[in-house]
Structure 1
């Protein structure tokens, strides 16, 4: 590694007695590229993982992966990918279990902040135990092309 790069590995136990690991890698302040991996247990004994990867401070590109257990003991995953701070392209994937024990998934995919193209997919179980799906696909905010599909 050159003088602009560094790696940091941190492993230990928090003041509440829970263990954690953190790995941080930064490659050249000019390239503005970095990775951060964090893994541990919350104070409520629930585990979590977080992976963050990015290029440039101006938001040109980054990824975030978060996996863990909510305070109510339900698991979740979240994946976020973004390119360009003005929203030109992004993806978001969320999967988990709600506080009432119902599962859900949410997928969001988009291109351009002006609504030229996007997709939204939602799947889960409502609080009354009914399953549902909602899929929305669109091109342009002026309504030139879109689809809306719902199953309840």
Structure 2
């Protein structure tokens, strides 16, 4: 094999269509642009979403929804996660080390989902009213 004998795989290349080169080419005269109109002319273009002056779809539909930018800094864990932890004192660093909350998290809250039966002390971690009651019923505390 030499460099001058290398060819693309069969079917990998396509014939380059030369438009506007006479009636015999099959793509002569209007060169596939149809008759008249903005798109048939040189330099004729329109913006994406342009509907000929009609109010475009993206402006006809109402604006809806919102995604908070602070959402990625908030995390939540449930009581089953706390039950599975080995540590008696739980803080943000413990939860990050175990992988229960992402590294970006700045605020963590325990929610009432699942159950807890052992004593756990929360430090610097929030809890919902129901979760706090469940933790205190098991003998733990929320600081």
TM-score by length of 1: 0.19
**Higher RCO (C-alpha under 8 Å, 6+ residues apart):** 2
Identify the structure with the greater strand proportion: 1
Larger radius of gyration: 2
Identify the structure with the greater helix proportion: 2
